[in-house]
Copies of this chain bind each other. A is one copy, B any other.
Amino acid sequence: MDPSTRIERTLAQALDRGEGPGSPPLLAAAMRHAVMPGGARIRPKLTLAVAAACGEPLSPAVDGAAAGIELLHCASLIHDDLPCFDNADMRRGKPSVHKKFGERLAVLAGDALIVMAFDAVAHGVAAAETPERAGPLMAVLAQSVGAPMGIAAGQAWECEPRAELSAYQQAKTGSLFAGATVAGAAAAGQANHEAWRGFGERLGEAYQVADDIRDVAGNAEDEGKPVGQDGALGRPNAAMTLGLRGAVQRLTRLVDGATAEIPACPGRTALVASVEQQAQAFLPKAIWALAD
């Protein structure tokens, strides 16, 4: 089964469990709206790719970890879009969750998806009969989204009178990419899963630069959300600081730096090739061409 199919199936199973008897229908609908259909599923694909490179391509523990990472990502998007933050009306080409279901259900759907992420991991390690992997995976997921350095911390830097830019960017984007790679190794039973953090952090940095470029040079229809938001909201943006060509060059260097950090493992060569291929999808072809 190809990675996309595995990811969609595991996410669908998690949502189905959340819609069991007693479930309030609007909450269930809001959660499904936030998760299905998804975006590029870059982070869970990364989790599967790392686990496969470590020699564990098919464990339900890996599927659970990948789904957990994606559910945390979806939860963070819901809360980021709330009126008190970005007040975004659109996400992935559809109304944002609070726009469609109201602010209260958006808060609750985000909360419930955070929780569902941990449940997906618990379910996966139980199905894989690898219970010893639950604790490390739970700690990795928690680190990626909580305090002091996860997504919530990254978002919180927007509320500080003085933000440390590198901590902000590292936490807001890098942390979940690092979580995706480290969780892939932990789900594959690697005791030294922390060795995978540098790779994820560099790749997250690259993705942030790509996101900055798309905010400046993309169009709303392709992105499924408004562009030009960083300038409008006064947020730091690499394409505004370095210029478009400079930012694309920086992106290329960051992807190279990321692959250089991949630890020795049975599937290293294939993983490097796959990362380089996926990084191409970070930007539309027309934008890559700008830096040629």
Contacts and interface: CB of A to CB of B under 8 A. Distances in A.
- Could you tell me the dominant secondary structure of chain A's interface residues? helix
A116 B146 contact: yes
Given A27-B159, A102-B159, A132-B132, A149 B114 contact: no
B156 A142 contact: no
A56 interface: no
Max chain B C-beta neighbours (<10 A), residue from A75, A111, A157:
A111
A274 to B, nearest CB: 29
A139 interface: yes
B112 A149 contact: no
A111 B114 contact: yes
A125 B139 CA distance: 11
Contact of A145 (B26, B85, B115, B147): B115
Given A75-B111, A112-B152, A134-B134, 14 more contacts: A17-B148, A20-B149, A22-B170, A23-B153, A24-B163, A28-B148, A101-B159, A110-B111, A114-B115, A115-B145, A116-B146, A118-B118, A122-B136, A122-B142
Name the residue among A142, A145, A156 with the largest chain B CB count within 10 angstroms.
A156
Given A119-B146, A122-B138, A138-B119, A156 B24 contact: yes
A75 B79 CA distance: 15
Interface string A98-139: 000111110110111011101101110110000110111011
Contact of A118 (B23, B85, B142): B142
